Amino acid sequence: MSNFSRQIRFTSSMIRGLQYRISRSFTTIEGHRPTIIHKQGLDILHDPWFNKGTAFSMTERDRLELRGLLPPNVMSNEQQIERFMADLKRLELNARDGPSDTNSLAKWRILNRLHDRNETMYYKVLIAKIEEYAPVVYTPTVGLVCQKYSGLFRRPRGMYFSAADRGEMMSMVYNWPADQVDMIVVTDGSRILGLGDLGIQGIGISIGKLDLYVAAAGINPQRVLPIMIDVGTNNEALLKDPLYLGLQQHRLDGEEYIAVIDEFMEAVFTRWPHVIVQFEDFQSKWAFKLLQRYRNSYRMFNDDVQGTAGVAIAGLLGAVRAQGKPMIDFPKQKIVVAGAGSAGIGVLNAARKTMARMLGNNELAFESAGSQFWVVDANGLITEERENIDDDAKPFARKTKEIGRQGLREGASLVEVVREVKPDVLLGLSAVGGLFSKEVLEALRGSTSTRPAIFAMSNPTTSAECTPEEAFSIVGDNIIFASGSPFSDVKLGNGHIGHCNQGNNMYLFPGIGLGTLLSGSRVVSDGMLQAAAECLAAYMTEEEVLKGIIYPSISSIRDITKQVAAAVITEAIEEDLAEGYREMDVRELRKLNKDELLCYVENSMWNPDYPTLIYKKD
């Protein structure tokens, strides 16, 4: 559409200006160029990208034929937000007993309606109050939203490709109005958080992830696209629900399934050759296969496999430092992992590689690193005796002889494994709420570590393997604790605080996406992912980790994302993958020193400021 192309042209010239500024100084003052639009009056007020509501100045109201269409008192940005927040604050006052599902959903509705009518203000609120509202637009409330999506759906957001669209996708992509899309988050709804198959309703997770792309990575909201690929659902309740909005058929499988995803990938990359596609919440069965299928030919990554792995590595290294040891001691950690799905296996592979690198990066080192992990799934401890073992889990199956010596056996329960292994780290990616029961946590008291670490990473809150209260009260005040969904810190008896870190892939995926975009790399390489993880690990100071703070606060997510993106770009340049982005071609990119690169990243981030609007006839 012409609006979009105009916007894009302006952004290009802004980047040119930016290059100039980078060469002159490192200030980040963004000149606000006007935006030319081709609509007037009510059409503007009904367009969430241009609507400023009561904040339209009188001159703009005259210029855009808005006079009389709004109440006369022009509000400042601050007043506008204050008026909006009043609704949300009322809800908070009504929720004295803590957040209830009804209350969280009510907050989501209020924010979602704002998103529908005024994008700039929505992101202004989200960025300014990310600590308060990430739990509403992202985990845990987004889980609830997905569970109820068929009922909550009002206005469409994003695109739906279904099994019924086979053969049509190449033309369907042109129904999306934007000529430029930077970031797609796609799901098939088959494993939404720890809530299982939610079919088409899983689109909520793509929307939530992209909200973080805008808020944390400053991706322009006009260039993000949430996508749901509806290949059916195996959720019997949804199949029977007459109000379910998706295809009421069982999921496609095998070649038929792959054909749909192949067609989708070809279609989106034909229309937007530079887009980055993040795969989200695909059941493990497909997560790895699709990643292997596409990662060398498309700009894509799987957040659950690769983003989670990096966040876990950063946390695991933080836990080593919190024990007062150097990171290089990581290969000595004994790690029990509960869950061998896309997330668990992703973490295991990355942790093993990291250990192997520290041990000398040879075959022997890789073998030796493998012996630091004990993996427990729904059928207990995984050993070489396991029948029909998944190829992805096979490298982590324990040898029968070895575990015999440890007093363990195939299928041993989690509590038995923890009791016998006495691990330094207990990490859960099982999607089973409460899996780290009193018995399991009591067994962890026998850990040989001075500061055992517990990662209850499953989402949403109801799927967390344990709460921080349970962990601190049963295992002890000295533990390190992280959970996937947010929990409050715990007050410990001695007046100290038991820190509840949020170990969530939100600390990496926005930076991986932004870094890939700005580097112009055609693929997301292992090295780029590793650089992202190392950057997050290095973000925490010695003082913080010794206090048990191994992940940053979400309030600094924009800064973390900037650093991660710069690390990803640097690695892409080093691996000769970078091709540059728009006017910042790779030669220019190579010339930037570290500070200049950070400045370039920051200047490339979209900020939620109302642009001056100028009307021009189409």
Ligand X SMILES: O=C(O)C[C@H](O)C(=O)O
Q: Report in angstroms how near the CB of residue 411 gets to ligand NAD at its nearest.
A: 11
Does 284 participate in binding ligand X (rule CB under 6 A)? no
Does 188 participate in binding Mg ion (rule CB under 5 A)? no
Distance CA 141, CA 207 (A): 12
Distance CA 195, CA 432 (A): 10
The residues assigned a catalytic role are 138, 209
Q: What is the DSSP string of 178-210?
A: -S---EEEEE-SSS-TTS---GGGGHHHHHHHH
Instruction: Name the binder of 302 from ligand NAD, ligand X, Mg ion, none, CB < 5-8 A by kind.
Output: none
Ranges within 501-520 binding ligand NAD (CB under 6 A): 503-505
545 CB burial (10 A radius; 0-12, 13-18, 19+):
buried
- Residue 280 among known ligand-binding residues: yes
C-alpha distances (whole Å) from 277 to each of 163, 198, 517, 522, 598 are 19, 21, 11, 12, 24
Does 414 participate in binding ligand NAD (rule CB under 6 A)? yes
**Number of chain positions touching ligand X (CB under 6 A):** 9
Q: Report in angstroms how near the CB of residue 237 gets to ligand NAD at its nearest.
A: 18
- Residue 191 among known ligand-binding residues: yes
For 95-235, where are the alpha helices, taking DSSP H only? 101-117, 119-128, 130-137, 141-147, 149-152, 169-172, 203-217
* SS3 assignment, position 325: coil
Q: Which tokens belong to 305? A: 């496999």
CB 566 within 8 A of CB 517: no
Instruction: Name the binder of 465 from ligand NAD, ligand X, Mg ion, none, CB < 5-8 A by kind.
Output: none
Q: Of 80, 120, 193, give the one whose Cα is nearest residue 462.
A: 193
Does 335 participate in binding ligand NAD (rule CB under 6 A)? no
Site string for ligand NAD, 367-386 (x = CB under 6 A): ---------xxx--------
Does 465 participate in binding ligand X (rule CB under 6 A)? no
Ranges within 262-281 binding ligand X (CB under 6 A): 281
Site string for ligand NAD, 289-318 (x = CB under 6 A): ---------------x---x--x-------
Q: Of 332, 409, 412, give the one whose Cα is nearest residue 372.
A: 332
Ranges within 228-287 binding Mg ion (CB under 5 A): 281
Ranges within 459-478 binding ligand NAD (CB under 6 A): 459, 463
Site string for ligand NAD, 12-51 (x = CB under 6 A): ----------------------------------------
Q: Of 119, 118, 113, 120, give the one whose Cα is nearest residue 155.
A: 113
- Which of 197, 263, 304, 424 touches Mg ion by CB under 5 A? 304
Does 304 participate in binding ligand X (rule CB under 6 A)? yes
422 CB burial (10 A radius; 0-12, 13-18, 19+):
middle
C-alpha distances (whole Å) from 281 to each of 70, 287, 396 are 43, 8, 23
Q: Report in angstroms how near the CB of residue 373 gets to ligand NAD at its nearest.
A: 14
Ranges within 177-216 binding ligand X (CB under 6 A): 193
Q: Of 313, 278, 120, give the one whose Cα is nearest residue 205.
A: 278
557-574 helix and 203-217 helix, angle to the nearest 10 degrees: 90
- Residue 424 among known ligand-binding residues: no
Ranges within 131-150 binding ligand X (CB under 6 A): 139
Site string for ligand NAD, 184-213 (x = CB under 6 A): -------x-xx-------------------
Angle at 279 between CA 281 and CA 307, to 5 degrees: 85
Distance CA 320, CA 424 (A): 9
Does 431 participate in binding ligand NAD (rule CB under 6 A)? yes
Does 197 participate in binding Mg ion (rule CB under 5 A)? no
Does 420 participate in binding Mg ion (rule CB under 5 A)? no
Does 525 participate in binding ligand X (rule CB under 6 A)? no
Residues whose CB is less than 8 angstroms from the CB of residue 180 and which lie 6 or more positions away in sequence, other chains included: 4, 8, 223, 272
Residue nearest to ligand NAD (CB): 341
Distance CA 373, CA 384 (A): 14
Does 484 participate in binding ligand NAD (rule CB under 6 A)? yes
Length of the chain, in residues: 618
- Residue 33 among known ligand-binding residues: no
Does 211 participate in binding Mg ion (rule CB under 5 A)? no
Q: Given the complex with ligand X, which of 7 and 139 has the nearer CB atom?
A: 139
Ranges within 566-595 binding ligand NAD (CB under 6 A): none
Q: Given the complex with ligand X, which of 209 and 451 has the nearer CB atom?
A: 209
C-alpha distances (whole Å) from 192 to each of 26, 398, 529 are 42, 30, 23
Annotated binding site for (S)-malate: 191, 459, 504
Interface contacts to Mg ion, rule CB under 5 A: 281, 304
Annotated binding site: 191, 280-281, 304, 459, 504
Interface contacts to ligand NAD, rule CB under 6 A: 191, 193-194, 284, 304, 308, 311, 338-344, 376-378, 414, 429-432, 435, 457-459, 463, 484, 503-505
